[in-house]
Amino acid sequence: MKVSLKHHWVVKPAEATWNGTVSLSECDQTFAVTHVPTIYYYRFCHDCLPSTDNIIKTLRTSLSKALVHFYPLSGRLRWIAGSRLELDCNASGIVLMEAETEAKLDDLGDFSPSPDLNSLFPRVDYTIPIDELPLLFVQLTKFQCGGIALSFAISHAVVDGQSALYFLTEWASLARGEPLGNEPFHDRKFLRAGEPPIAYPTFEHLQFNPPPLLLGQSSSEEEKKNETKGSMLKLTKHQVEMLRKKANQGNQGRSYTRYEVVTAHIWRCACKARGHKFEQPTNLCICVNIRNIMQPPLPKSYFGNAIVDVIANGVSGDITSRPLEYVARRVRAAIKMVTSDYANSTIDFLKNQEDLSKYQDIHAFRSKEGPFYGNPNLGVISWISLPLLGLDFGWGKEIHMSPGTHEYDGDCVILPGKEGDGSLTVAIILQAVHVDAFKKFFYEEIEC
């Protein structure tokens, strides 16, 4: 798809904001520290079609107001000793771009993640020194039909998914002329940011060990070379309930959640589609929100990363041959490990590391080396409960929302489907040779 960039602006806070250096927590500085893309598509009726100039003016004005409250986003990161990062709150601003394309929204089909859509997202130039690189990029692309795409690339070193959506929701409220709903809480010392180590970890932290390799391989280099492909697989509310009913057969405890069941289903189907040997070790990486798990809980408007990774592991033969309840139980057991003590142990583990680089997914910043979580492994993130849908900047709600395009084998996000109907969408990246088999197993397993 050909997209032409027309204009760009550096948007700064509308008023003076706090200026100074902020220490980042260990949750901020590990795993993905690059920019995370998301995109929203809007379709307008001909009678209410706003001009691009009015849309841009609304976005610029409201964003400038939003940055007064969410001022860390207008700052810059800085490397310090031990491959650690700190945040310079200097009001340098964010980048807003205007673009256009001759394509129509209908040309995009079901909006499945694809390299063809890359031009709809802001391009982040990681050759720029990190202390000059904006933390937020926004791109508005106008289609020939009058519809628009509004995409974001936001630094994962500053916010996780919940905080990013919190910012977008508040920005949209300001764009509609409404007041700020909740003032963000910026003190990262709630997660001991910048503090020296005071203890050693008290738990085993498998998430920091190298993930399993395919049997017979001594490295993941060959797997990294394989072509990948994205898919958006939809589950109706009825299909989700069918999976839950299937998983809860033989379950002696409380009913399995949608996330536990769908994640277990994805893990089984991925193992089958990849054609693993029975004894193949496989890891499932799960992200757990610790805001309400910490003692005391974090403030509701905490603005930053508050995610801890945990590993469910097994062998593919067990994952594929045993009942879905067995796999869902393994997912639940991993999630239940994450207590306040476990989260603090994770922080202790990282604080005792002289260098964090081997725990950072920083390919775009420094090199192509680093942990590989593709075949035979998987990472499944839940966005089910996030306020993803209904993002209205004053011209109505989106017709579709999607995570950004990327190429990492094994990445998977579970999203809510249409607003309020109980459906889900699974956005997954797999090696191209495994995609058709995965789709086949994904829907066959629900019916049987």
| Dist. CA 257–CA 331, nearest whole Å | 10
Contact of 398 with 40, CB cutoff 8 Å: yes
| Dist. CA 373–CA 204, nearest whole Å | 19
**Residue 446: burial class (beta carbons within 10 Å; 0-12, 13-18, 19+):** middle
Catalytic residue of the set 88, 363, 392, 406 = 392
Catalytic residue of the set 35, 69, 156, 205 = 156
Contact of 36 with 153, CB cutoff 8 Å: yes
Nearest-CA neighbor of 270 among 440, 114, 425, 404?
440
Contact of 429 with 417, CB cutoff 8 Å: no
| Dist. CA 66–CA 47, nearest whole Å | 30
Structure tokens at 219: 């490295």
Q: Walk across the sheet containing 20-23 and list its strands.
A: 20-23, 84-89, 76-80
Is 363 noted as a catalytic residue in this protein? no
Contact of 304 with 188, CB cutoff 8 Å: yes
Is 125 noted as a catalytic residue in this protein? no
| Dist. CA 192–CA 346, nearest whole Å | 12
Catalytic residues: 156, 392
